[in-house]
Structure 1
Amino acid sequence: MSGPPMSGQPAMSGQPAMSGQPAMSGQPAMSGQPAMSGQADTRATDLAADPLLPSTYNENDLRAAVGATQLPAAAQARAKKSRWRASDGDDGDDDDGDDDGAGGATKPRSRKTMLIGALTLVVGGGIAAMVILGKINSQRYLITCEADRVVVEHGRTFPPWGESSLGGAEWKALKIPPEAPCAPYETDDKAELAAHYFAILRDHSTTLLTAREVTKIDDAEAQLKQALLVARSLGRDDERIDARDEIERLLGDVGYWRASAKLRTASEALTEAANEFEMAAKQRPRHVTDAAAWALYVRKLVGELRAGPAGAATATFPPLPPGERPTAPPGVALPIEPGTGSEDGSGAGSAEPTAPPAADAGLPTGGVLL
């Protein structure tokens, strides 16, 4: 509506007075009110000096201006934080290809995140592959032959290649001489590994116990006890029972040869005692007179020990076990040396061979009587 404002009512802020508009015809200007052109200039100067919003304000100031309820301090802090995020320009929308300035700064961070994610996937996949390969490799069991021992090994878990010695007292390496036979072996079944290594320990200890001179009794006993431990890993109960029975019998052989060694030691001590008795008898002791008798008695004991329970003197002492002497098969007569008529070789009971009967003189030789 054209015309000067009403008296006592200020002009609207920011709305300049209409310049060049004359007063309404027949309507005088209100008392004390300047012309509209001068009033517009004054209002423009006031707006420049007094802006619409102060330089600093908060949420409660705005609410107080409009008469609304003020916010508590916590809500005011959250509102301030949300305004700060909005002014930062990071609205999480990277799909706008025309973003620049603050919005464009999110693109390098996004590429870095993708690179880190890709590297994480590659490293995680590599670790998973190594774990799987290590598990597969650890299920391999091997028996390897070295220059002086037999070693039981299994595949390593990490790194997932190569082999390492299998732990445990039952899988301890077996020392062997250079001439001992040995063949490598590989399996993925621990029961088969136990059966193969049990056979190696049993055969090697048997070789030591059946040698011409049994001198490595302790080594044979240690190998047999190790074989008892290996027998626990056999697959079936009947195999474990049979293996223990066989080892117990071989340990009996160990006890036999250990007692034979002690018997040899006792025989040597008795022989030395007999020699000392003889030396004492030659010196004609003053207070004793039976030194020579003791020397004869001790030598007799030594002779009986060497003869053994069979009563036959042998070239080796202690004598070989009965199973080591060759015997004739049942039903086969022992051969008799030529020139002897009896088994003792004395010739008693032998007779001269008889002459063939004389031919009948009344019958022609070679004829047939009808």
Structure 2
Amino acid sequence: MTIIDYFTQLGSNPYFGAGFGLFGVGAAAALARKGMQVGMILFRRHYMMTLEVPCRDKSYQWLLQWITQHARHTQHLSVETSFQQHETGRVKTSFDFIPSVGVHFFTYRGTWIRVERNREQHTLDLHMGVPWETVTLTALGRDKGIYFSLLEEARSLALEREEGKTVMYTAVGSEWRQFGHPRQRRPLGSVILDDGLGQRILADVRDFIANPKWYTDRGIPYRRGYLLHGPPGCGKSSFITALAGELQYSICVLNLSERGLSDDRLNHLMSLVPQQSIVLLEDIDAAFLSREDTAGVKAAYEGLSRVTFSGLLNMLDGVASAEARILFMTTNYLERQVLALPLSWASDPFEHCSYYVCLCDNFI
């Protein structure tokens, strides 16, 4: 039997013909599926844009809030509950519904945008201690301007919510994070200090802000620092809050006795302070008890921080210290720290604010 006769008999076999037909159909389906996958990849690469926003980016919360306001047909939601306490003591509760984990769709300027909020259950944001999240936007077209416009609208919406309020920041890991909701600005006149001291500090700060060129022309570091001292409850923190509201500045609060705070991290944080912010270092007397005789001092303060006194001085006035910075420090026990400051720091004015010390004209 020749090869030709063999294939002729196979071709006349109905079982072989059916099997070969099924094989052909399967191969064609596999090729079609592969072709569709390749085609979709090429289409997404050339005709679709994707923007990924990680949870650590500042625009992440802005974007979620914007989607909450504009994507009204989203069905899968998460709730964020916030409390606002009025001056009368009454507490108002509000609920914000934001897109939950999953896929959502909305239109923006006539363009459909696919939103996928993804949460990694096995990956944590080490600074926040929460699962790592990303929001991915996908839109048709190649015009990146649509994303710029959307993010700009989200930023403007966030700024509107902060209008007329004081934003508080706190150190989280190696960066500053907004702490709570923006607070209503406190009038400067609501804090009573001795002999118009508040107005003198305000005038001094405004003079500093208005004259950066004066510092540059003379080669003087452009930074300003103040030490407020007095017993608990005398209005140190309240005055700083009111001053920030008067200047329309935010406040970055840092506790030097925080566990895990080191000289390196302190310098890193101070180099990343948001613009138009007042840095507040509270209770500096509690951070350096190892320099003194700690007899009779509460043991609760001991060993809480790895910040050294020399590290603090380098942060304030060292080579790597940041420019264009306003810093306030508070202490309940002036005698514990000012005596340890270099003589060049303890310069005029030195007043009993309830109480106030301006640390040097060039800083401080």
Q: TM-score range by the shorter chain?
A: under 0.3
Please state which structure has a larger fraction of its residues in strand.
2
**Larger RCO of the pair (alpha carbons < 8 Å, separation 6+):** 2
TM-score, normalised on structure 2?
0.26
Tell me which structure has the larger Cα radius of gyration. Answer: 1
TM-score, normalised on structure 1?
0.26
